[in-house]
Structure 1
Amino acid sequence: MAPSAKKDTTSRARLSAVIKSARDIMRKDAGLNGDLDRLPLLSWLLFLRAFDALEAEREVTGEESIIKPDYQWRAWADDETFTGEDLLSFINNELIPYLRGLSSDEPGDPRNVLSQVFGGVQNRMLSGYLFRDLVNQIRKIDFNSSDDIHTMAFLYESLLKEMRDAAGDSGEFYTPRPVIRFMVEQTFPKLGESILDPACGTGGFLVEAYTELAPQATGRMLQQQLVYNLRGIEKKPLPYLLCMMNLTLHGISAPNILNANALRKMIADTSPSTQVDIILTNPPFGGEEEDSIAKSFPSGYQTRETAWLFLHAVIRKLKPGGRCAIVLPNGALFGEGIGTKIRKKLLQECNLHTIVRLPQSVFAPYTDIPSNLLFFEKTGPTKEIWFYQIDPPEGRKGYSKTKPMRYEEYAACAEWWGGEERKERRENDHAWRVLISEIAESGYDLNILKPTVEASLPHHPPVDILKEIISTENSITATLISLLEELDSEA
């Protein structure tokens, strides 16, 4: 085993043991019920531990500390005699209120980040002694070590997956990592482009985009530009907290994430300066927005269906020439009324060049709603749409929590894609093309299935094809005879 591999293995084993001990400690506390309570607590403590490492760097360079000395992690966490009710009272009545109250008028100031992160934080632990044991475990993580940070990012992703599983059971679900990776890769992001996820959840799209682009950011200026250009909006406090920690662990020291209602924010920001180059997102669907949000949209596009509202807002948010990859349910692809208007707007203002139809159970077990990946560019009207159907592997009927869809299952689609220019695409058993004239005639219905009859005929033996034709002809003849008999009886 190479020295670096051995070092990574040792670091992972050590930190896995730390996280396991931390979770065992939290399980003993009567105030915490399940991972939906335990992971947020672990997240904001990790956040403070990581932020303290950044504070230490500021002090070395002579910069002013963001957090007052009495409230810095090292001041209270490193004092092992500070425990029990005294520690608990400090955390609940002094530290958290202090962090919530931080603010600055300067955009990008870490004080605003801290106040947003801790705006929704509550400490649910009831035992100050167990809290001290938990803090002592987190102190074993060295956020000045790139090895520890890298390993913690990996372990945190595993914790988030467990969190998503728990959240899914309560009606929420998040985008599987293979879906995220495929969407990011087929959008072909470039260094210097602004990238937004307006429903960022725990930050999966932004982490993947950062992972894709970070190797190109070879200098401090480029690294700062990359971090600034990764933007997210998340409405709910818990996913927002988890997102901030996720991005921090992946090397984004000052995440550009807003805790707000994305629809309200996007529809209010009409200035071209707020538009972005790329949008990568899986917006919530199947729910309804409040009336005030729906009424803030232009006349004729006011609906409470979240998927349609997000699609409309995304079109407006893209710069001219910008591009988007978005997850949408089948229900957003067809239907009359406002949905038709929004799809028409999409096809008239953007080039919807590809719709990838996913297998039905990709998001199982949380929902069986069939979903699609839409890829479009704000470069003018659509002339044709390519559809690509991804089917489960041979012998598999679907997916589950224990047997999810794998990234390798997107390989054939990625190869067919034709690179950034989408050159030399060909129709095959999975891919077909539809002209915009046909779509307009159908009332802008995008729920277009794979043409099965024509595609299947060449693969059938000639005898079977003739039998199918004779059977069809016999059925038509029988229907005509029956109709003739009815007409004769009425004469």
Structure 2
Amino acid sequence: MSTLTTKLRSDIDKLWTEFWTGGITNPLTVIEQISFLMFARLLDVTETRNEKRAARTKKPFKAIFGPKQQHMRWSHFKQQKAETMLKVVRDEVFPHFRELNGGTTFAEYMADAQLMIQKPSLLVSAVNMIDALPITEGDAKGDLYEYLLSKLTTAGINGQFRTPRHIIRFMAELVEPKPTQIIGDPACGTAGFLVGVMQYLLETHTSPKGIVKGENGEKVYTGDLLEPYREHIQNGMFHGFDFDATMLRIASMNLLLHGVENPDIHYQDTLSNSFPEKFPKQATGGFDVVLANPPFKGSLDESDVHPSLTQKVKTKKTELLFVALILRMLRKGGRSATIVPDGVLFNSSKGHAVLRQMLVEDNQLEAVISLPAGVFKPYAGVSTAIVVFTKGGKTDHVFFYDVGADGFSLDDKRDSVKENDLPDALERWRKRSAKTDTDRTANHFMVPVGEIREKGFELSINRYKEAKQVVVKYDPPKEIIKRLREIEKDIAKDLSALEGMLQ
């Protein structure tokens, strides 16, 4: 449940409108600029915290701001007049961002950071608004950023940027990540999946005593049982890659505001030749869990793709190459839940067929969960499915589930509705059994691997589903004829009466 108050939402909406009226209309740019300013504030908060600790412990620390840079701190420049503030932020604070190295993952993406705000009055509004936001308070800061990111959906930005939060949560529940594992996303966008895993860990590793009440009476999970794993969570657990620098800034800020201070987020096309060269550990066998919704952007130049992928699946289609890539990134026994377009399940091209055979024969394909076509609206009406698989192992049976509703209307509005199959899908998944899940007329069942082989490794649920046979009872033919004769008599009678009226 969101900890955002109505006032906070309204404040963010107001700030958003000010950006638009100030001439900054691209939603990604708005979020990026707000991220920069949040980062400036968080740097000052960190510096103040370090100063207090140093005063207490009498131990030195590496300062973010030198003696001559104090005027560049948030607490200082926020008090300046509009013109001076714009000058300091544009000409000094942003260049200082670029010089930061180490200490924060966010610093890596500041090489080309620019203040797009030209109007002094807009900067003052943005600084005042961000100063009032609870970005130092537990859960509220994460929810606040989620609310900002939801603007990407309403603004109709390309679907690769944002997977709905409830679908991410569902996928995390399917693979049940552990706090000791290494988690990756090869096309991380705004880091929704990595944040989703962090939230899942907090909820599943909080003792009854660790659940506290938030300002609005909601449950806040402190994750007190994660204490032994803190170092790993902060520095070694989360890895994301994308080749959009704006996305990476937003992803880093998203993780930072959800309590992951030093995630491993990099600018990288993971399908390319340079991925194994630059990141050998992550590119091959580096992950226990991969959660992803890779872009389905059609074809790309085969010469750019690393040969280890095209040797396995000869194709230019990104949706197939990403599944092959995820298999390469997983360690043996590692698991993934990945969203694929429906065509991956049944398309008859050689590349499609080879990939499906590889999933079934060389690995353990565990589940194919079909999602309704409207899940990614308003920006895409494409039909998709979640495939769950383990690298290596052996496929015996595959669990199929046909999700008809996900708790939201399947039109562009995506309003909340009562119908939601996801909780049932999760329960059936956890209780799945090849002995009992045999009813092919139901919306879920298990299919033995032998049958999948026979059907050419097709993975569409409709290939295995059986229509419900409804026995229709008809009256005896003599009864029907008798009724027809009576109807005929009535018609003849009415025609005679009509004729009489015309004479």
Normalised to the residue count of structure 2, the TM-score between the two structures is: 0.78
Structure 1 residues without counterparts, runs of 5 or longer: 104-108, 468-491
CA distance in 1, matches of 2:455, 2:151: 43
Tell me the equivalent position of 1:284. Answer: 295
Cα deviation digits, residues 96-145 of structure 1 (max 9, x gap): 23322433xxxxx325x23323235332211124313321332233544x
Which moves more between the two structures, 309-318 or 250-259?
250-259
1:366 is displaced (CA, Å) by: 1.7
Cα deviation digits, residues 72-102 of structure 1 (max 9, x gap): 6863553356344544344334332332243
**Kept after mapping to 2: 8 A contact 1:329/1:369:** yes
**Kept after mapping to 2: 8 A contact 1:99/1:114:** no
**Kept after mapping to 1: 8 A contact 2:134/2:141:** no
Closer, same or farther in 2 for the Cα pair 1:57/1:302, shift >3 Å?
A: farther
**Kept after mapping to 2: 8 A contact 1:36/1:167:** no
Structure 2 residues without counterparts, runs of 5 or longer: 55-60, 206-222, 478-503
Q: What SS does the corresponding residue of 2:36 show, helix, strand or coil? A: helix
Alignment of 1:19-418 (within 5 A): 19-30=12-23, 32-62=24-54, 63-68=61-66, 75=73, 78-80=76-78, 82-103=80-101, 109-111=102-104, 113-144=105-136, 146=137, 149-168=138-157, 172-214=160-202, 216=205, 218=225, 220-227=227-234, 228-264=236-272, 267-268=276-277, 269-271=279-281, 275-296=286-307, 297-299=309-311, 301-333=313-345, 334-392=347-405, 398-403=410-415, 408-418=420-430
Closer, same or farther in 2 for the Cα pair 1:239/1:404, shift >3 Å?
A: farther
Aligned AA (2:257): L
Tell me the equivalent position of 1:478. Answer: none
Closer, same or farther in 2 for the Cα pair 1:418/1:73, shift >3 Å?
A: farther
CA distance in 1, matches of 2:409, 2:35: 37
Query: Whose radius of gyration is greater, 1 or 2?
Result: 2
**Kept after mapping to 2: 8 A contact 1:70/1:76:** no
Q: What SS does the corresponding residue of 1:262 show, helix, strand or coil? A: coil
Closer, same or farther in 2 for the Cα pair 1:314/1:223, shift >3 Å?
A: same
Which moves more between the two structures, 361-370 or 180-189?
361-370
Aligned AA (2:337): A
**Kept after mapping to 2: 8 A contact 1:302/1:338:** yes
Closer, same or farther in 2 for the Cα pair 1:131/1:397, shift >3 Å?
A: closer
Tell me the equivalent position of 1:426. Answer: 437
**Kept after mapping to 1: 8 A contact 2:161/2:189:** no
How many aligned residue pairs are there? Answer: 443
CA distance in 1, matches of 2:433, 2:196: 22
Aligned AA (1:133): S
Normalised to the residue count of structure 1, the TM-score between the two structures is: 0.80
1:34 is displaced (CA, Å) by: 4.7
1:376 is displaced (CA, Å) by: 0.9
Aligned AA (2:31): L
Closer, same or farther in 2 for the Cα pair 1:48/1:221, shift >3 Å?
A: farther
CA distance in 2, matches of 1:386, 1:70: 63
Cα deviation digits, residues 15-52 of structure 1 (max 9, x gap): 4454345334434423x125343222112211221232
Which moves more between the two structures, 310-319 or 70-79?
70-79
**Kept after mapping to 2: 8 A contact 1:418/1:425:** no
Aligned AA (1:158): Y
Closer, same or farther in 2 for the Cα pair 1:153/1:393, shift >3 Å?
A: closer
1:251 is displaced (CA, Å) by: 1.7
Aligned AA (1:226): I
Closer, same or farther in 2 for the Cα pair 1:58/1:194, shift >3 Å?
A: same
Which moves more between the two structures, 319-328 or 188-197?
188-197
**Kept after mapping to 2: 8 A contact 1:120/1:238:** no
Q: CA RMSD in A?
A: 3.3
Aligned AA (2:299): E
**Kept after mapping to 2: 8 A contact 1:308/1:332:** yes
1:180 is displaced (CA, Å) by: 0.8
Q: What SS does the corresponding residue of 1:361 show, helix, strand or coil? A: helix
Q: What SS does the corresponding residue of 2:261 show, helix, strand or coil? A: coil
**Kept after mapping to 2: 8 A contact 1:178/1:407:** no
Which moves more between the two structures, 67-76 or 156-165?
67-76
Closer, same or farther in 2 for the Cα pair 1:49/1:446, shift >3 Å?
A: same
CA distance in 2, matches of 1:339, 1:301: 8
CA distance in 2, matches of 1:211, 1:393: 20
1:462 is displaced (CA, Å) by: 4.8
**Kept after mapping to 2: 8 A contact 1:323/1:378:** yes
Closer, same or farther in 2 for the Cα pair 1:299/1:415, shift >3 Å?
A: closer
Closer, same or farther in 2 for the Cα pair 1:24/1:329, shift >3 Å?
A: closer
1:362 is displaced (CA, Å) by: 1.5
Aligned AA (1:326): T
**Kept after mapping to 2: 8 A contact 1:18/1:140:** no
Closer, same or farther in 2 for the Cα pair 1:60/1:336, shift >3 Å?
A: same
Q: What SS does the corresponding residue of 2:324 show, helix, strand or coil? A: helix
Which moves more between the two structures, 157-166 or 220-229?
220-229
CA distance in 1, matches of 2:436, 2:233: 32
Aligned AA (1:311): V
1:243 is displaced (CA, Å) by: 1.6
CA distance in 2, matches of 1:185, 1:438: 28
Closer, same or farther in 2 for the Cα pair 1:413/1:75, shift >3 Å?
A: closer
Cα deviation digits, residues 188-217 of structure 1 (max 9, x gap): 111201111121211221112111112525
CA distance in 1, matches of 2:25, 2:409: 35
Which moves more between the two structures, 270-279 or 338-347?
270-279
CA distance in 2, matches of 1:188, 1:76: 40
Aligned AA (2:128): N
CA distance in 2, matches of 1:319, 1:133: 49
Q: What SS does the corresponding residue of 1:366 show, helix, strand or coil? A: coil
